[in-house]
Each structure stands twice: as structure tokens, then as C-alpha cells.
Amino acid sequence: MSGRTKFLMVQGTASSVGKSVITTALCRFFKQEGFKVAPFKSQNMSNNSYVTDEGGEIGRAQAVQAMACGIRPSVYHNPILLKPTTDIGAQVIVLGKPVGILSARQYHDYQKEALPAIEKALDHLRSEYDLVIIEGAGSPAEINLYDRDIVNMKIAQMTDASVILVGDIDLGGVFAAFVGTLELLPAEDRKRIRGFLINKFRGDITLLEPGLDFLEQKTGIPVLGVLPYDEDLHIPEEDGVFWAKKTGTVRENKKILINVVEFPRISNHTDFEPLMKEPDVELRYIREVPAEVPDVLILPGTRSTMADLEFLHRQELFEFIREHVKKEMRLIGICGGYQMLGAELIDDEQIESTRKKIEGFNFFPLVTRFSSKKLTAQVRGIHLESGEEIKGYEIHMGFTEVGRGTALRPGSGQTRRAPTPVFQVSERNGKSVSSMDGAVSKDQRVWGSYIHGLFDAAGFRRYFLNQIRQEKGWESLAPAAGIENCSAQFDRAADMIRRHVKTEKLYDWIGMSCKSQA
């Protein structure tokens, strides 16, 4: 790399205006332009996480952005990750490793200790890359948090970054949001905002032009571009505005109906995006007993397994599952959902609950014991029944083992042997291993696994869906090519930047010239 590393920052008028996707698009655009580029978000609050090659945990959005740059995700791309455990507290992860569960007030006091990790990450990126695209969080004008900001203008100051302010016109009120954000910022921070970017526009842009002219005249800041609403752009997003787009009420003809329980503390919901894109699947998120029994019900990951198991009881979903599993419905548990499938969950240290013990579904004679030690690993292996290759990652604070003399049903007096595993793991964090994962019933209709990201594997995903199709008397389908490959989507996003953004201004702001034309 030659010269000084440049920084360009994407901030928003609010959460869920498209910062993550636009940052991804800019990463891909500058990669195509010939730059060695990397993403960065100093602090991310998300329960969608990813395990890096180092075995560290970062926000999934930054992992996706790194992939758009053509580089391996690293803890330096997201040095601080907050995973909410309650409405007022979160697990704090610094440079990939958990440091504890802190309340919001405790974390505010801890932030000074977190700053060196941010500085270390930035120093690493400066030593490796021409350009870093930074993503902010929420709004820079959260005046109650401004003096403790370590993710928006504080980072722009530390890196001397030019800031693009993004607003979502599809939500309405975008002009007020732009002007209001500027009004609440100190003069020195207003100067860092070099351009406005309007996201998710539908309709005739000529009808928008008077508003664009007014905005530029009112603020003296140029409109960088207007991005169209693109329903065919599928880039994994953060937690916000996820559910409304992924639910349905009437099953389409010849569709496999899959329900995912929307736990109050759900994590890694992106595990199921590949299923959503399959042509023969209708995927819905539920919080109560559904009107129609699905073909498959999935218990996803959760940041508080015991609390969300109690949620199943409150919503009468626990008994619904017991009633319909096997005879009408398949059941899958991933990570925390897998732990629920066992006989018992024990939390002697009260790691995630005030309760020390709770009974699970008891589909398998398994006991989960929670521990303060967190396991994070990338894994590769095979699905034992089909031989299909899988890869994914493990993130959990507990271990699951066969309980001695565990009863088939509480009080039944009957016992079972160790269940059959689902997957054989051959690689963990790049090292060869030979271990088993998960548990599956004899008829293959109930199974669970600790591995996130299983359905990214096209062969395994289609094998699973074809089992259901065959049961219904439908013809099998071949794997849908390319679903797990985001490269085409990255290129589509970059092309949107190229067509709808005044890219010459980007080059002017970062003080660099286009390498692809050099």
C-alpha cells in the first residue's frame, strides 16, 4: 500500500435507513475500482454475529462487508460488539472475546476502557489498506448519548473521515430528518457531513427534484444521489426491520411451510435467509400458536435459552409442538433451540437466568449446563445421513451431554441410550478434528445442532427440502445454484452506486483518483 489510508464514513438519520447495505455497496464499488478496501464499525449492537478465522465474534454485517471487499472478516472490522441480553443489559465483546454482561450504565462507564481496542483496530487497518469504509450506528444526533459517542462523530474525528448522511425516503419525513440532524449537531460535526444520500426511492424522480433543490439551498450540502428501492437486492441486514418483510398469512400453492419461532431474545435470524430464497419455501416468523400447522417448525438461536423456553410455555407453543411434532410436523433446534430439545437445562452459576434448572422438551436424553466460558468457532463437516458438506459457526455458552438415566418422559421410568448425531465435524477454526454434533430422532423428523449457518450449504438445504417434497408426493428439485453466493448481489449493489451516486464527489472527498483508470 502506498500513501496514507483514507476514511469515508456512512452515518444515518436513524436506525434501519440502510447504512449497512450502503456501506457494503461502497466496499464493493471501491474494490472494483482497484482499491485495497476494508469495512469498519467501532461498536455494533446486534444479535446477528459471525465467527472470524481467529475464532472471534463480530457483527454479521461487518463480516458481509469484508466479503464484499474480497477479504476475510476480522475482529479489527468490528472491535466492539454488544449482544443485548435484556432490555437494559448486553454481553460486551471486545476484539472478538466476551468481557462480561453489563447494564447500559455500567457499559457507559466501561467505554473509556474500550477505546484502546478501537484505536488498535484502526491502527491495524491503517497498516493494511488504502481505504476504509466506516459505518456509524443509529443517528449521530442522539443528544443524550453524544458525550459518550464512540461510534459516530467521535470516530469521524479520530479518522478525519468525510461523512455521508443517509436517509430512508420510503419511511417518510426524509427532508425533516436531514435538516433536524444537522440542527442538533455541533458546528464542527456539521462540517464533516459532505453529502446527503437518499435511500429507497420509488416513483418519478422528477417529482422529487424540488425537494432536493430545497435541501441543498437550505443546508449548503449537496445531494450525493438518490438510490432506488430494489426488491431484488438481497444483502444480509442488521436486526432492525427484519420481521415485517418476512411474514405471511396465506400459504401459496405447492409451498413447503416453515415457521420460525420469533423468540423475544432471538439471535442469528439470518440462519434462515437461504430457506427464504428457495422457490418452494414459504417462511414465516411466529410468536403464538399458528392457525395452520407448518411442515417444519424451527426453534432458532437465542441469547437467553431458559427465558425463551418459558416464553414457549406462556404462548402455549410448548404444548402445540408436543401435540404436532412427528405426526404432522418436523422440528429443528439450532443452538439454543437445540438445547431446548433435551431433557434438562441447568444454570447453577445463573449465567443467563435467575432460575437454576428448567425442563426441556425431552425429545433427547440430553442435559445442557451453562458456563461462563463462551465457545466460538468456525466449523466444517458433513451431514451424516446424506454425506452433504456443511460449514458454519458455533457460538454458545454451555455444553450439552447425555444425562445419566434420563427418562423418556418425566416419571416414566424408561431410559434411552445416547442419541444419534446429525453432523460429523472435521475442521474447527482451521484445525482438523473428528467430533460429532447434534442429535436426530430415528425417523429423522426431529433434530438439533449447535452449528449456525447450516442452510447456507445448497446441497444439504435441498436434500432437507426434498425429503419433505417426497413425503408430499412432489418431485425432487435440484439445488438452487448460487443462493449462498453473495458475489452477484455485491456487484448489483456496487452497480447501483455507479449509476445513481455522484462518484466523482466521493473521489474528491477522499482525495484519491480512480485506480481502475490509472
- d(Cα 149, Cα 414) in Å, to the nearest integer? 58
**Helix, strand, coil fractions of the chain, as percent rounded to 5:** 35, 30, 35
Q: Cell for 7?
A: 476514511
Residue 171 is classified by DSSP as G
Single-letter amino acid, residue 71: I
Q: Which residue has the cell 469498519?
A: 40
Strand partners, 345: 358, 368
Q: CA–CA distance from 360 to each of 102, 371, 406, 421 (Å)?
A: 28, 18, 12, 18
Q: Cell for 344?
A: 434438562
Q: Cell for 406?
A: 434420563
Please list, in sequence order, all residues whose beta carbon lies within 8 angstroms of the beta carbon of residue 166, skipping any fewer than 6 positions away: 10, 11, 12, 13, 17, 18, 19, 22, 196, 197, 198, 199
Please list, in sequence order, all residues whose beta carbon lies within 8 angstroms of the beta carbon of residue 141, skipping any fewer than 6 positions away: 180, 181, 184, 185
Q: Cell for 382?
A: 458433513
The single residue of 27, 335, 383, 486 carrying the catalytic annotation is 335
At residue 45, φ and ψ (nearest 5 deg) are -110, 110
Residue 141 neighbours by CB distance under 10 Å: 20
Q: What is the largest CA-CA distance in the chain?
A: 79
At residue 464, φ and ψ (nearest 5 deg) are -60, -45
- CA proximity to 226, closest of 241, 234, 215, 237: 215
Q: Which residue has the cell 440430553?
A: 366
How many Cα atoms are found within 13 Å in the side-chain-facing hemisphere of 110? 19
Q: Which of helix, strand or coil describes residue 39?
A: strand
Render 369-392 in DSSP notation, one character per residue.
EEEEEEEEEEEEEEETTT--EEEE
The single residue of 27, 77, 452, 486 carrying the catalytic annotation is 452
- d(Cα 450, Cα 368) in Å, to the nearest integer? 12
Query: Is 383 marked active-site?
Result: no
Query: Is 452 marked active-site?
Result: yes
Render 292-336 in DSSP notation, one character per residue.
S--SEEEE-EES-HHHHHHHHHHTTHHHHHHHHBTTTBEEEEETH
Residue 203 burial by Cβ neighbours in a 10 Å radius (0-12, 13-18, 19+): exposed
Q: Cell for 380?
A: 466444517
b/e map of 126-140 (b: 16 or more CB within 10 Å)?
A: eeebbbbbbbbbbbb
- Known catalytic residues are 335, 452
